[in-house]
Amino acid sequence: MSRREQVIYLAAAWCLSYPDEDLIERVPLMRAALGEFPGAVEDFREVLEALEATPPMDSQAHYVREFDLGKRHALHLSYWTDGDTRRRGEVLGNFKKTYRQSEILVDTHGELPDYLPMVLEYAARVDLAAGRELLTRFRASLEMLRFGLLRDALPHARILQAVCATLPGKSPADEQAVMRMAGYGPPTEAVGLDPYDPRLLPVKGA
């Protein structure tokens, strides 16, 4: 099971990263590795095919539009639970603490430590147990991101589904169930970008 999780996490990390030339060259490697496990490649197929078939500049523009310019598909896990509050600093510090406890130096490449592709690659390459614990702890963030991708019909939703399937318990059936899982909804600064009614979201600390 651990080998399968490692492959899924690393492929997911790459597929959720900026599609530069190096990433596109890894598509055959990802397809071959995922092909070792029955059904695993299906969750990645559409993204992998798009990376191969789409001109790189178009893929990059699409990625920036969907993942960098707005918060609808935020890839920073603590954004979904803590927004830009003071508590988020403590949460980010806990990510750094987890990385420091590893015997291998983790280079964040200037990203915040809760950046999902980084967490996934950490789980795949450095410490599967600790990385899986981070993913489990932020399961609600993964599920909220998954629903956001589903709403916009992005194939990356199936990749999030594959990651969530490696974690304990079933995925929530709807977004209200995810909010109950988290104990609160997305941060207020996301309202207006995502179709959540702020009147339905419990205020943290209330």
Mean pLDDT value across residues 180-185: 58
pLDDT for position 106? 63
Better-scored residue on pLDDT, 202 or 169: 169
Percentage of the chain surpassing pLDDT 70?
77
> How does residue 92 score in pLDDT terms, banded at 50, 70 and 90?
confident
E strands, 15-167, in order: none
Task: Find out whether 117 and 81 touch, Cβ atoms under 8 Å.
Answer: no
Q: How far is CA 104 from the centre of its chain?
A: 22
> How does residue 51 score in pLDDT terms, banded at 50, 70 and 90?
very high
For the ranges 78-82, 131-135, 163-167, the lowest mean pLDDT is seen at 78-82
Q: What is the mean pLDDT of the chain?
A: 82
Supply the pTM of this predicted model. 0.81
Q: State the CB neighbour count (10 A cutoff) for residue 176.
A: 12
pLDDT over threshold 90, residue 89: no
| Burial of residue 141 (number of CB atoms within 10 Å: 0-12, 13-18, 19+) | buried
pLDDT for position 8? 97
pLDDT over threshold 80, residue 175: no
Q: Which residues contact 132 (CB under 8 A, 6 or more apart)?
A: 5, 123, 166, 167
pLDDT for position 91? 85
pLDDT for position 55? 95
Give the dihedral sign, CA 127/133/137/141: positive
The domains of the chain are located at: 84-136
CA distance between the termini of the chain:
41
pLDDT for position 179? 66
Better-scored residue on pLDDT, 144 or 182: 144
> How does residue 58 score in pLDDT terms, banded at 50, 70 and 90?
very high
**Residue whose C-alpha is closest to residue 144's, from 115, 168, 164, 162:** 164
pLDDT over threshold 70, residue 117: yes
Better-scored residue on pLDDT, 51 or 205: 51
